[in-house]
């Protein structure tokens, strides 16, 4: 059984960590090594204030455990400079058991994520030549763009070309539209799809497979709503 302790030192340490985090930016701030050093320094400041010392760590997960060798234990994870837990235990052995358990759980989570990424990367792209993608974007109005797959290359590569749409208005400056397959505008361009057929076109625009039902070999695409207030 454990209980949280030393709230005042914790607040002091967290305040110190925030001070370090809030320091004036420098040209190397985006450097992963620099960021890692900043996290380490903030945690060490916490340990200094609370009278703890580093007992175990794992750089790959960001796990770090600090203790006093008696009953107190603080654990950090990821890139966090605020302790995930800061507790006292009935014995030092129980504190070490907790640290080992948290460390193992963090390693397993990291391994599971790696396995999931590998499984995702192994999946083929579901898009076929002739498929249509739709992208909805805009801040104060909803713009709709349609793209048709013209060629496939490799496992995930696709060549897309923008196509026009057939629009209908059902209210003031808004309505529905469906893709006009084969009516190309603009030049073809290459892109990369994920296993769900989604293609990121820009930071603000992602294209998804356009929904449809097939009747007598003809695709009837689901209408997509658009607005045009400006």
Instruction: Give the containing element (helix H, strand E) for 176.
Output: strand 174-184
Task: Give the residue-averaged pLDDT of 91-112.
Answer: 98
Tokens 């990821």 locate to 78
- 155 near 134, Cβ under 8 Å? no
Contacts of 170 by beta carbon, 8 Å cutoff, 6+ apart: 176
| Helix 7-21 × helix 32-50 angle, to 10° | 150
What residues does 146 pair with on adjacent strands?
Answer: 134, 163
Residue range 72-89, pLDDT digits in tens? 999 999 999 999 999 999
All structural domains of the chain with their residue ranges: 2-122, 132-227
Q: Tell whether pTM > 0.85.
A: no
Task: Give the residue-averaged pLDDT of 28-57.
Answer: 90
28 pLDDT more than 90: no
3-state secondary structure of 42: helix
Q: Is beta strand 85-89 parallel, antiparallel or unpaired with respect to 2-4?
A: antiparallel
- 58 near 107, Cβ under 8 Å? yes
Task: Give the residue-averaged pLDDT of 149-163.
Answer: 95
């Amino acid at each position: 059984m454990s209980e949280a302790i030393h709230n005042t030192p914790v607040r002091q340490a967290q305040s110190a960590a925030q001070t370090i985090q809030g320091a004036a930016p420098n040209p190397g701030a985006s450097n992963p090594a620099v960021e890692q050093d900043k996290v380490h320094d903030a945690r060490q400041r916490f340990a200094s204030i609370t009278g703890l010392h580093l007992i175990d760590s794992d750089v790959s997960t960001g796990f770090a455990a600090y203790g006093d060798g008696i009953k107190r234990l603080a654990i950090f994870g990821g890139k966090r400079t605020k302790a995930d837990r800061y507790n006292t235990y009935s014995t030092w052995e129980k504190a070490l058991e907790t640290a080992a358990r948290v460390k193992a759980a963090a390693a397993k989570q990291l391994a599971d994520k790696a396995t999931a990424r590998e499984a995702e990367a192994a999946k083929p792209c579901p898009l076929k030549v002739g498929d249509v993608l739709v992208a909805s974007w805009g801040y104060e109005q909803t713009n709709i763009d349609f793209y048709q797959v013209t060629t496939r290359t490799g496992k995930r590569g696709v060549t897309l070309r923008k196509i026009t749409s057939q629009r209908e208005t059902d209210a003031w400056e808004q309505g529905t539209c469906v893709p006009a397959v084969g009516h190309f505008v603009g030049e073809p361009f290459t892109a990369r799809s994920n296993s769900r057929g989604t293609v990121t076109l820009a930071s603000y625009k992602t294209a998804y497979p356009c929904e449809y039902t097939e009747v007598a070999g003809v695709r009837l695409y689901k209408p997509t709503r658009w607005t045009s207030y400006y």
